Amino acid sequence: MKRLNFVFLFFLVFSIPLVTFANVKDTASVINDSVKAWKFNSIIYTGLNQIGFINWAAGGENSLSGKIGVDYVLKYKNRKFQFIHEAKLAYGMVGYTDNRLEKTDDKIDVLTAFSRKSNTNWEATGLITFKSQFAPGYKYPDDSTMISAFMAPGYLTLSMGVNYKPKKWFQIFMSPVSGKFTFVLNQQLANMGSFGVTKAVFDTAGNVIVPGKNVKGEVGINVLTSVKHNLMKNINFNSTLNLYNNYIDPNKANRWNIDVDWDTRFIFTINKLFSTILYFHLKYDHDSKTIKYGIDDNGDKVKVMEKPMIQIKESLGLSVTLKI
């Protein structure tokens, strides 16, 4: 995983001079006082997918799935100050004919930034990010074992640093000292030590002596790069890469295990109402462990692996979109 971390750092370090070179011929932009100080943009998208089988020899399971999402950006700026608040919210479910429901998407991703503008491409910036989910998640198809919930985990990051914006469509924020707080407010998950919090102390009978902690604090470097660009008239590219490294991990061997959160989407606009959205999400967090189960010789389910792994989610679908 460390090799992957260095690849991301290599990309970030060398993307800055490349974008700067592409910007050499651009003239300095001047904010026009006649432009409205407040701006709001949003996109609401929803999709529905149905699959049915009748006497299908290859097999299959009837299902109905749906997803709804909201992305919005609220901006305020004048000659010296800029405020940005943006959010990406999504929730999706799939239902099967046996009345089984499974969650397919669940995201709360909110960002708030305050910047002091200058005559250069650099800005002094304060950044607050919050990430969590709306509803409990389970180890499907087992819907009795909860593995996540609202604010379990929840991530709050507070950063002060500089923002480099050589293009309207590209920017990179860097904070050498940033505080990150991981919340696990579900006590059952906290007792298990989920998502890196200190787990509970149990006696020999399995009773809790000392409950697990609900909050874990970290101090480290935070890097956030964002690209929002219209590749063609009807193709929009939106990608955000967030890297975080914990300076104070008690295990020194883990201090170069960088947390990676890479969210990318292509929006192919068909007309004013319909769009095709290709979504890709890659995550790696050394404190977030993937559990895999197997069946022993007696036919019982047993845990065979529990370790941090690269997490990937991908989707492609037709959506009804409304832009405001």
Q: Does the pLDDT of residue 22 top 50, yes or no?
A: no
pLDDT at 282: 95
Question: Would you state the pLDDT for residue 266?
Answer: 95
Please report, as a single letter, which amino acid is at residue 322: L
Q: Does 41 reside within a domain?
A: yes
Give the CA distances from residue 39 to residues 76, 84, 151, in Å, rounded to whole numbers and listed in that order: 6, 10, 30
d(CA 190, CA 153): 10
**Residue 289 structure tokens:** 């462990």
What percentage of the chain reaches a pLDDT higher than 90? 60
Look at residue 319 and tell me if it is in a domain: no
* Distant-in-sequence, close-in-space partners of 256: CB < 8 Å, separation ≥ 6: 2, 5, 245
Whether residue 73 is contained in a domain is answered as: yes
Give whichever of 8-12, 33-37, 178-182, 192-196 has the largest mean pLDDT: 178-182
CA atoms lying within 13 Å on the CB side of residue 1: 17
The total of structural domains in the chain comes to 1
- Does residue 108 sit within a domain? yes
- Residue 295 in domain: no
The residue to which tokens 């389970």 are assigned: 138
pLDDT at 11: 41
Backbone angles phi and psi of 9, in degrees to 5: -65, -40
**CA dihedral angle for residue 303, residue 307, residue 308, residue 313, rounded to 10 degrees:** -30
Quickly tell me which residue has 């919210």 as its tokens.
89
Residue 2 has what pLDDT? 47
Tokens describing residue 290: 């993937």
Higher model confidence: residue 54 or residue 7?
A: 54
How would you write the chain as a 3-class SS string? CHHHHHHHHHHHHHHHHHHHHHCCCCCCCCCCCCCCCEEEEEEEEEEEEEECCCCCCCCCCCEEEEEEEEEEEEEEECCCEEEEEEEEEEEEEEEECCCCEEEEEEEEEEEEEEEECCCCCEEEEEEEEEEECCCCEECCCCCCCEEEECCECEEEEEEEEEEEEEECCEEEEEEEEEEEEEECCCHHHHHCCHHHCCCCEECCCCCEEECCCCEEEEEEEEEEEEEEEEEECCEEEEEEEEEEEECCCCCHHHCCCCEEEEEEEEEEECCCCEEEEEEEEEEECCCCEEEEEEECCCCCEEEEEEEECCEEEEEEEEEEEEEC
Q: Is 184 in contact with 153 (CB distance < 8 Å)? A: yes
Residue 92 CA to residue 103 CA, distance in Å, equals: 6
pLDDT at 35: 54
Q: Which residues contact 11 (CB under 8 A, 6 or more apart)?
A: none
Q: What value does the mean pLDDT take over residues 259-278?
A: 93
* Residue 234 belongs to a domain: no
Does residue 270 lie within any of the structural domains?
no
pLDDT at 288: 85
pLDDT at 49: 85
Mean pLDDT throughout 32-56? 82
Whether the predicted pLDDT of 295 surpasses 80: no
Give the per-residue pLDDT at 210. Answer: 96
Question: Could you report the per-residue pLDDT of 279-289, keeping only the tens digit for each?
Answer: 999 999 988 88
- Residue 259 has which token pair? 């947390």
What mean pLDDT do residues 267-276 have?
A: 91
d(CA 322, CA 324): 7
pLDDT value for 111: 97
- pLDDT band at 263, cuts 50/70/90? very high
State which residues form the domain around 182: 2-15+37-51+61-224+245-256
Sequence letter at residue 17? P
Average confidence score pLDDT of the chain: 85
Question: Which of 315, 318, 224, 310 lies closest to 265, judged by CA?
Answer: 315
pLDDT tens-digit map of 135-162: 999 987 777 889 999 999 999 999 999 9
Kindly state the average pLDDT of the residues 27-51: 73
pLDDT in tens, 77-115: 988 899 999 999 999 999 987 778 899 999 999 999 999
pLDDT per position as a tens digit, 178-213: 999 999 999 999 999 999 999 999 998 989 999 999
pLDDT at 193: 93
Residue 207 lies in a domain: yes
